[in-house]
Amino acid sequence: MKISKTNIKDAFVIEPKIFQDSRGTFMETWNEKEFSSAIGKKITFVQDNHSYSKKFVLRGLHYQKNYPQGKLVRVGFGKVLDVAVDLRRSSPTFGYYHSEELSYDNKKQFWIPEGCAHGFIVLSDSADFLYKTTSFYNPEDEETIKYDDVDLKIDWRIPNRDIIISDKDNSGISFKDAYLFE
């Protein structure tokens, strides 16, 4: 398993070792010992999620204020552009975002630490998006930052007119009004 730093403090891209032969492929998608050793702390997951979305569907930018979630995300089928935004005031990368193309073909995973907002857009015809979280989902605690926030200037690679987004996500708050973590 190869673990690489990103431009956000404590966020990492994970590339699992792929074993392939005439029967197909095998990869280890989670190894607590290796991952904890690489990032310097033990991670415990409490929930697994799976979403299916069509081309140009954008979900996010979501975060929970009182029950922040660390997320280990990957794509089971298709291709997405995955984005994390650092909302931790004390972080040297506060206000930065990192985007990573995740796909069935590249098998990359993205670790997004607690205190970051998260979203993705589907670049293929459809995608199965899989992720583990360190805290349970709490809908009353969730906030959404508007995907096209003028201060963040996230390049989603798709013209805004083509993006498919829920009313909830489209009415997100600005980065300036977002809850900030210490």
Q: Is residue 82 part of a domain?
A: yes
Per DSSP, the three-state class of 32 is helix
pTM recorded for the entire structure: 0.93
Which of 10, 11, 65, 57 lies closest to 177, judged by CA?
65
What local confidence, expressed as pLDDT, does residue 25 receive? 85
CATH number of the domain residue 101 falls in: 2.60.120.10
Show the domain range for 134. Answer: 2-177
Neighbouring CB atoms inside 10 A of 180's CB total 14
Q: Is the residue at 182 inside a domain?
A: no
Pairing of β 18-21 and β 97-103: unpaired
Q: What domain count does the chain have?
A: 1
- Tell me whether residue 136 is in a domain: yes
Of 63, 97, 98, 131, which is the active-site residue? Answer: 131
**123 preceded by cis ω (within 30°)?**
no
The answer to whether residue 130 is domain-embedded is yes
Instruction: Give the pLDDT confidence score for residue 69 in this predicted structure.
Output: 97
60 in any annotated domain: yes
Q: Is residue 147 part of a domain?
A: yes
If you ran DSSP here, which 8-state letter would residue 162 be given? G
**50 is known as an active-site residue:** no
Answer yes or no: are the C-beta atoms of 81 and 121 closer than 8 Å.
yes
| H or E element, residue 34 | helix 32-39
Active site residue 62: yes
* pLDDT, block means (10 residues), the chain with 182 residues: 92 91 88 84 94 98 97 98 97 97 97 98 98 96 97 95 96 94 84
Q: Which of 62, 63, 97, 98 is catalytic?
A: 62
Helix (H) or strand (E) holding 168: helix 167-170
In a domain, 122, yes or no: yes
